[in-house]
């Protein structure tokens, strides 16, 4: 399946397009550093990872439009103090001038975090944190009111909590599970289906009403070599998808294959057209309705 085949994919399902909850747009200087880190197969990458779409913002937005991606995100994440507020200014400004882009923000455990999250909530409809790259404990006391605020407002947050591609101190189901135990109404979207801790994160999505999973890189050849999704989880993932709790995510543009391969990988699970329609469109659209 090639990118030019993508419109035929969603048209064949009777959809008006695709809705992708997990894409990245960053300030150019930061994006170049991220790409350089992937090029070097840095410690948190752990393997060769050639970036497929090393294009300008305008070129990447235009490509998503050609594919029929009607809704997408500009996920950014702070990995040290003093970054988040400026990142939020950039990502929210990008969304304001980019049709289809969901206004997105981030945060980090630091003094003043509750204040700038409150400020961002005036516009942001989605947050992102990366526990592997950020290297912080989501149970940190300074974040407790932030999680509470997001839970109270029903604002979803994409959380990279799984231990792939390389485990870090606060990845795995335990740390974010502790946050959910304290804030059970938090609308957490676990990136990458929680790879490689699939079963544990599926259980969290089943246990908590607002916890969902995104499909980013799941079932692709690249991730199946690293940590295949266990087949015995397929029935539970099908049920979660039909219940609105599995969302299309791709990691565009930071992927080592074409965008179409993510869709091809979802289709070959055999979980059915109703599941594909829910995952690739309805679940994300309903989240932001």
Is the pLDDT at 247 greater than 90? The verdict is yes
CATH superfamily of 3-287: Metal-dependent hydrolases (3.20.20.140)
- Give the least confident one: 48-52, 118-122, 214-218, 280-284: 48-52
- Can you give the residue ranges of every domain in the chain? 3-287
Per DSSP bridges, beta strands 104-106 and 126-130 are parallel
Please report, rounded to a whole number, the percentage of residues in the chain having pLDDT higher than 90: 91
What pLDDT does residue 172 have?
96
Strand order from edge to edge, sheet including 157-160: 104-106, 126-130, 157-160, 188-190, 212-214, 246-247
Tokens matching residue 144 = 């407790």
What pLDDT does residue 54 have?
95
Return phi, psi of residue 105, to 5°. Answer: -140, 175
E strand or H helix that includes residue 212: strand 212-214
DSSP readout, 57-111? HHHHHHHHHHHTEEEEE------STT-HHHHHHHHHHHHHTSTTEEPEEE--SST
């Amino acid at each position: 399946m090639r990118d030019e085949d993508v419109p035929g994919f969603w048209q064949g399902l009777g959809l008006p397009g695709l809705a992708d909850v997990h894409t990245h747009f960053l300030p150019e200087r930061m994006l170049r550093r991220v790409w350089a880190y992937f090029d070097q197969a840095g410690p948190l990458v752990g393997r060769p990872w050639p970036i497929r779409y090393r294009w300008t913002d305008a070129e990447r937005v235009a490509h998503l439009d050609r594919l029929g991606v009607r809704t997408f995100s500009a996920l950014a994440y702070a990995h040290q103090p003093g970054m988040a507020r400026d990142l939020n200014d950039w990502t929210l400004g990008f969304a304001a001038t980019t049709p289809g882009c969901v206004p997105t923000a981030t945060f980090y455990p630091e003094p003043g975090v509750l204040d700038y999250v409150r400020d961002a909530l005036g516009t942001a409809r989605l947050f992102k944190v990366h526990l592997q790259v950020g290297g912080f404990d989501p149970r940190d006391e300074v974040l407790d009111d932030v999680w509470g605020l997001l839970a109270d407002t029903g604002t979803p947050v994409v959380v990279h909590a799984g231990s792939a591609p390389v485990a870090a101190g606060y990845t795995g189901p335990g740390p974010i599970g502790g946050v959910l135990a304290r804030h059970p109404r938090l609308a957490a979207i676990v990136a990458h289906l929680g790879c490689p801790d699939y079963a544990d994160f599926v259980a969290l999505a089943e246990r908590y009403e607002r916890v969902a999973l995104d499909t980013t890189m799941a079932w692709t050849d690249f991730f199946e070599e690293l940590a295949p999704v266990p087949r015995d989880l397929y029935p539970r993932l099908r049920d979660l998808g039909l219940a609105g709790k599995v969302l299309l995510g791709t990691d565009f543009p930071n992927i080592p294959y074409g965008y179409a391969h993510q869709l091809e990988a979802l289709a070959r699970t055999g979980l059915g057209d109703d599941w594909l329609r829910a995952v690739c469109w309805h679940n994300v659209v309903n989240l932001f309705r």
